Amino acid sequence: MYHCHEQEKKRKYNARVVHIEKATFTPLVFSTTGGMGNEAAKFYNHLADKISRRTGQRYSDVIAFVRRRLRFDLLKTCIISLRGYRGKPGRAREASEMSNLDINLRPQAT
């Protein structure tokens, strides 16, 4: 299922991205339950590796955090699409700096 959708996105967007924007294209295909295609999985593994190296956190903690965050965001998106957004209008979420984000939420013995 994922492979078919990845190929469809590549057919649709890859030529434009390569020729006009002079970039590469990686289709990120997800299901509403949090499953992901092969290329999305490779992307998230690479992303978690980079975050792990930059912040000094363990890779296992980072990939668990990224996957958990992705699943909650997908769930939130599905709920909003079904019942609509019920938050306060104009209230923006503050983005925190990556260097200040502690992914390993369990207390560390010092």
pLDDT tens string 21-42: 888 888 888 887 768 889 989 9
What is the distance, to the nearest Å, from the Cα of residue 59 to the centroid of all Cα atoms in its chain?
16
When computed from its CA atoms, the radius of gyration of the chain, rounded to whole angstroms, is: 17
Tell me the pLDDT tens digit for each residue of 56-97.
999 999 999 998 898 888 888 888 888 877 777 665 455 455
pLDDT at 35: 81
| Residue 64 or residue 100, greater confidence | 64
- Ramachandran angles phi, psi of 8, nearest 5°: -65, -45
pLDDT at 15: 87
Q: Which of 96, 105, 7 is nearest to 58 (CA)?
A: 105
